[in-house]
Structure 1
Amino acid sequence: MLLRALSALLAYPDAELRAALPDIEAAIRAAQDLKTASRDGLLALAREIARRDALDAEARFVDLFDRGRSTSLNLFEHVHGDGRDRGPAMLDLRQRYLDAGLEPSGNELPDHLPMLLEYLSCRDVAEVRETLGDCAHILRSIGNRLLHKRSRYAAVFGALLELARAEGLDPHAPVLPPEDLDASWEERPAFANDRAPPCRPTDFRR
């Protein structure tokens, strides 16, 4: 339920999501795998989304995640950019979902982080930690940039790193300008391709 809550918090903050915020907050409060500070940060984000003017919340979300590569929620954007390896990696990830019984829907690409979290929400703990650990360098880069922007959305990335048992966010980490990001990211898979039994995830959006 925690991974589904984190996935929902990274969704476009429309009326449907705001209506689900009480359930999302309940899932966060019930989480046993997070430190108190991480839970408090996530709850603060949920409250911020709830109290902001709807248009303002939506505009801020677009500014953060839909304009530019540095905080894109599409993971392969950070690994492959527009390179030729991105297409095959996307197909492999989609097949991973299909093998698990998850049919990707909507307009988002398979590497969209909320979709990956929905998939992981019904996997075993070992796969969750391995997958999040494999893409921890991306999660940390996005989270540190969000900290630099003083965005409460950074709490989601801090929580994911905590679940992965990886090094957390660093508010003092240098933030590269967008034009230097490609040179700093390594050309490596964003996460492993292990398979596991079928699942049927659901989310908080009604």
Structure 2
Amino acid sequence: MSAADRRTALVYQVASRLLGYPDEQLLAQLPLLRDAVDQLPQPARTQLGSLLEHLAGSEPTALGAEYVGTFDLRRRCCPYLTYYAYGDTRKRGVALLAFTHAYKAAGLVMHPDELPDHLCVVLEFAATADLDVGRRLLLDHRAGLELMRLSLADAASPWAGALAAVTGTLPPLRGDEREAVRRLAAEGPPEEEVGLEPFAPPDYMGARR
């Protein structure tokens, strides 16, 4: 593995932890994660470091509420990558199989209570099992990943830096990918459920929520 790939794997490993629910286990790991982040070059060191500082300096109960309000209640920040492209349609089930098959090919078996497209799961897989395949899974869902990054940045979320560090490991957006992000921001996933907040037209690749 090249030095660049080792840095990318470390970014994914740390981000997979920091983007998880801030429970006691994660908070206990913060010193080790800080040591790992200090090994990274800029801008990833600052992007991940700012989230580390927020987690370390916040009261645990407030952190939990902030996390839920960000990732569970904001559809633009949904951590399940296939949701952006397929919503809750049947096609999403087929898309999930692509993740499951990739994990099985690497000798990994998903826990039955976990969905394979959760961003933390994908990043952990890329960091520890198969970097090339994991990165391909991220690229296959680039529009959703970018919309999540932009939405977190628009909300001035402390988790925005982690998404920026992850997307910073990927190639620059192509024109068709930028258009896909704009379209997703304007229209949302297919076949939205009645009662959910609609997506508004974007100002710049994503509107403020």
TM-score range, shorter chain: 0.7 to 0.9
Q: Which amino acid aligns with 1:11?
A: G
Alignment check: 8 A CA contact 1:128 1:164 kept: no
Alignment check: 8 A CA contact 1:69 1:77 kept: no
Unaligned stretches of 5+ residues in structure 2: 1-9, 174-180, 191-198, 200-209
1:3 is the counterpart of 2:12:
yes
Q: How many angstroms does 1:122 deviate by?
A: 2.7
**2:106 paired residue number:** 100
TM-score, scaled to structure 2: 0.74
Q: How many angstroms does 1:165 deviate by?
A: 2.5
**1:113 paired residue number:** 119
TM-score, scaled to structure 1: 0.75
Deviations 1:67-123 (A, max 9, x none): 142111001111100111111221232122122112222633111010011111134
**1:203 paired residue number:** none
Unaligned stretches of 5+ residues in structure 1: 168-173, 185-206
Q: Distance in 2 between matches of 1:175 and 1:48?
A: 30
Q: Provide the aligned length of Structure 1 versus Structure 2.
A: 175
Higher RCO (Cα < 8 Å, 6 or more apart)? 1
Q: CA RMSD in A?
A: 2.5
Q: How many angstroms does 1:125 deviate by?
A: 4.8
Q: Distance in 2 between matches of 1:59 and 1:13?
A: 10
Q: Distance in 2 between matches of 1:106 and 1:124?
A: 21
More helix by share: 2
* Same amino acid, percent of matched pairs: 28
1:181 is the counterpart of 2:199:
no
Q: Distance in 1 between matches of 2:67 and 2:26?
A: 13
Structure 2 SS opposite 1:70: helix
Q: Distance in 1 between matches of 2:182 and 2:53?
A: 27
**1:196 paired residue number:** none
